[in-house]
Amino acid sequence: MVKFERFGGASGVIAVAAIALQFLIAGTAPPEIQSLIHNRMRWEWTTMLRIVGSLGIIWFTAGLAARLRRLGSRPASAASVVLGAGILWGTVWLLSALFNSAAISMSAVGDPAGVGLLAVLGADSVLTLTPALSVAFLAATGAAVLASPTFPRRYGYMTLCSAGFRLVLAIVDWYGSASLAMRIMDLTLLWVVVTAFHLLGATRPAAPATEA
- Residues 23 and 42: their CA atoms lie apart, in Å, by 11
Lowest mean pLDDT among 44-48, 178-182, 185-189, 195-199: 178-182
- Residues 133 and 154: their CA atoms lie apart, in Å, by 22
Percent of the chain with pLDDT over 70: 92
What pLDDT, in 10s, does the model give residues 101-126? 999 888 887 778 888 899 899 989 99
- Residues 63 and 138: their CA atoms lie apart, in Å, by 15
What pLDDT, in 10s, does the model give residues 76-90? 677 888 899 999 999
DSSP 201: T
Per DSSP (E only), the strands in 45-132 are: none
pLDDT greater than 50 at residue 59: yes
What pLDDT, in 10s, does the model give residues 127-154? 989 999 999 999 999 988 888 777 888 9
Return the pLDDT at 211: 40
Q: How many CB atoms lie within 10 A of CB 210?
A: 5
- Residues 56 and 79: their CA atoms lie apart, in Å, by 18
